[in-house]
A and B are shown apart, each in its own frame.
Chain A
Amino acid sequence: MSVHSTSPQFKENAARALSDTQLQRALGNVKQGFIDKRRKAVENLPEFEALRDSARDIKNHTLRHLDLYLEAYEAKVKASGGQVHFARDAEEARAIVLSLCREANARTVTKGKSMIAEEIGINEHLEANGVTPIETDLGEYIIQLRHELPSHIIAPAVHLNASQVEQDFRRVHKDLDPNRDLSQPVQLLTEARTVLRERFLAADVGITGANFLVAETGTSVIVTNEGNGDLTQILPKTHIVLASIEKVVPTLEDVSQILRVLARSATGQEMSVYTTFSTGPRRSSDADGPENYHVVLIDNGRSAMLGTSFEEMLRCIRCGACMNHCPIYHAVGGHAYGWVYPGPMGAVLTPSLIGVDQAGHLPNASTFCGRCESVCPVRIPLPKLMRHWRDREFEHHLSPATFRSGLAFWGFFAKRPALYRLVTRAAMASLGWAGRSKGRFNWLPLAKGWTKSRDFPAPQGETFQARWKRERGNNA
């Protein structure tokens, strides 16, 4: 484990989140923005569903041959003049990055957005050893100023409102005119651009993540909208790519297939603004680009997930669609999940990576409405995998406590009428949609005893409370 986790306190975290009015206002943006944009992008591409199948199949194929593609990838990186370092866990990865920074005599390091960097807690480690990391993605920059974890995997500062960002900028950018106008978001953006431009030009090392690694060519691929990842990797002398082992795919064609579902699922764009394919260091004739190119390939629990029911989770391309569509995420936000990965994907991945004893509450943070699975571009059966965690807890000594915590979780929501209404309304709407074809379910969450021997009639897309209100309203 690396970054400190508060996942065991999920319920306390959630309760705090629910009464945080700033947060609740900010979360409204998730619900409105992302869902609509994704839907429009999907409607615009008739082949979208077939491309999801294709993306799933590419990932499955790669995972089944992961050792071979990693070897092919490594050979190609070396052939293009780059270096590959393997790290079993977070600690090894941190040590490698620090020694590469020392080799480069680095004082400051710019960073592109990278979830694996969060996972291994690289910033704290560099800072503790006299190297200053500077986040350059606007959202990451903001949360770094606040010493927070990202609350969303593609929109790290989505839990904040502009006025909070303004306060942070005034607090930190002390050398700027205290009377400057920062009332508009665009003024905040411009200020960050100016401040970070200097940092980009001064950095000794640039660290980015990778959305994909290409075995065919030894290429690392990053996808951004701001261009910060590119400035991070072309300006400093040394570029370090951090990537977990499951990021590899076979060919450029495979990347192209998956890119067609990535941006559409994430932000509803047809394609992100910058998709960058980097292969090795600067060539002899080049006028710019890094002189040293390193890739740190990190396992940190992935190889143990292969061959288990959680192997499917390794298909994840970190698009964020599952959390954008999750009623629990909408209600409590990302920080309640207590570690690096929030939402449905976090509820499945976090127990795999930090242990079910630490994160056992998370798989219960679900209404099992199924919306996450219905939008996941690589078709990860997230509700099923959450259920697997529950079953696993059951098999272990954790069982009575787990069972209680499942019910306790239900009780927790049931005791908060506004939240209960919100969550059940979303759940019923999706259940109604999902079950209407058959009119029955043969399985329901928290009702195993019931559905084991009989089906549960599918709700007709409305909760009792909503219907009561409507009908009473009609009568009045």
Chain B
Amino acid sequence: MSARDDILSNIRRSLGVTGRETIRTQIAEERLERAPKGLIPARGQVSGEERIALFKAQVESSLATVTEVSSPADVPQSVASFLRDHNLPATLRMGADLRLKAMPWGETSLEISHGPSAGKDLNAVSHAYGGVAETGSLVMISGPENPSTLNFLPDNHIIVVSAKDIAGDYEAVWSKVRFTFGKGSMPRTVNWITGPSRSGDIEQTLLLGAHGPRRVHVVIVRD
């Protein structure tokens, strides 16, 4: 017998089932189909300004920084001043995201390059798929628009998120993912990012910038 069949039949023997019981199979299939939500904490169940305020507070408590702009056209200036304020070089890597592409980067003196990172880029900007107010998490989706390497290799990661894409809880994001990609399908990678990279492995001292970005800066676009 193959290892696969052996393991499955051991499981069935231990559970005292054959694997062909109709009701049991239906229960599992139904759960996969319905994906019941479970208990959602009250904290994130707020809307409008309250939700944005919660998101910002949670982003900050994750040790990232956050700012707001009133339109996509204001993003480049905001990013440029963030880099300047932290004495960072005026370079920026980004993917092929159309929302980012449409922004007036030419109005800044930033030197822009495109594509995934091979490990040499200091600064990158990505557009988030969404945000989660409950914990101040950003939801990133892989693809040529926002390559995953930009989330991890650069020292400074700037994440642009549209205010209307900020959800209260994770479950709302999953509903949206199902709508975009189809039930049961997923993009190659979904990254939830909650603050900059860190480690507590040396004497339990919290240190930022372990392997991923030392700084995460979130720009909320109100539009």
A118 within 8 A of B: no
Which of A264-272, A395-403, A453-461 has 4 or more CB atoms under 8 Å from chain B?
A: A264-272
B8 within 8 A of A: yes
19 pairs from A and B in contact (CB 8 Å cutoff): A26-B203, A54-B39, A67-B12, A70-B7, A87-B3, A88-B3, A136-B211, A137-B201, A138-B199, A157-B202, A193-B211, A200-B211, A201-B119, A225-B200, A231-B153, A250-B28, A254-B35, A282-B188, A288-B149
Which of A158-166, A331-339, A355-363, A382-390 has 4 or more CB atoms under 8 Å from chain B?
A: A158-166
In the bound complex, what is the Cα–Cα distance between A272 and B62 (angstroms)? 9
- B201 close to A138 (CB less than 8 A): yes
* Closest B residue, CB atoms, query A63: B15
Known A-B contacts A227-B210, A278-B188; A256 and B151 likewise in contact (beta carbons under 8 Å): no
Known A-B contacts A76-B184, A235-B149; A275 and B3 likewise in contact (beta carbons under 8 Å): no
A279 within 8 A of B: yes
Q: Which residues of B contact A (CB under 8 A)?
A: 2-4, 6-8, 10-12, 14-17, 19, 24-25, 27-28, 31-32, 35-39, 41-43, 58, 61-62, 95, 115-116, 118-119, 135, 137, 142-144, 147-149, 151-153, 169-171, 174, 177, 184-205, 207, 209-213
Q: Which of A158, A254, A270, A273 contacts B38 (CB 8 A)?
A: A254
- B42 close to A86 (CB less than 8 A): no
Q: How large is the interface on A (under 10, 10 to 19, 20 to 34, 35 or more residues)?
A: 35 or more
Main secondary structure of the interface of B (DSSP, over half): loop
- B35 close to A253 (CB less than 8 A): yes
Taking CB atoms, residues of chain B closer than 8 Å to A58 are 38
A404 within 8 A of B: no
Taking CB atoms, residues of chain B closer than 8 Å to A260 are 41
Known A-B contacts A270-B194, A287-B147, A303-B10; A228 and B210 likewise in contact (beta carbons under 8 Å): yes
In the bound complex, what is the Cα–Cα distance between A277 and B171 (angstroms)? 14
In the bound complex, what is the Cα–Cα distance between A225 and B200 (angstroms)? 9
Taken residue by residue from 177 to 206, chain A's Cβ proximity to chain B (1 for < 8 Å, 0 otherwise) reads as 000000001101110010011001100000
A15 within 8 A of B: no
Taking CB atoms, residues of chain A closer than 8 Å to B177 are 252
Chain A stretch 240-264: residues in CB contact (< 8 A) with chain B: 245, 250-254, 256-257, 259-260
State the Cβ distance, B95 to closest chain A Cβ, in Å: 7
A173 within 8 A of B: no
In the A-B complex, the 7 residue pairs with the closest CB atoms = A227-B212, A226-B210, A139-B201, A306-B14, A303-B10, A307-B14, A86-B4
Q: Which residues of A contact B (CB under 8 A)?
A: 26, 29-30, 32-34, 45-47, 50-51, 54, 58, 61, 64-72, 74, 76, 80, 86-88, 92, 136-139, 142, 155-158, 160-162, 165, 185-186, 188-190, 193, 196-197, 200-201, 215-219, 225-228, 230-231, 234-235, 245, 250-254, 256-257, 259-260, 267, 269-283, 285-289, 297, 299, 303-308
- A189 close to B209 (CB less than 8 A): yes
In the bound complex, what is the Cα–Cα distance between A196 and B200 (angstroms)? 17
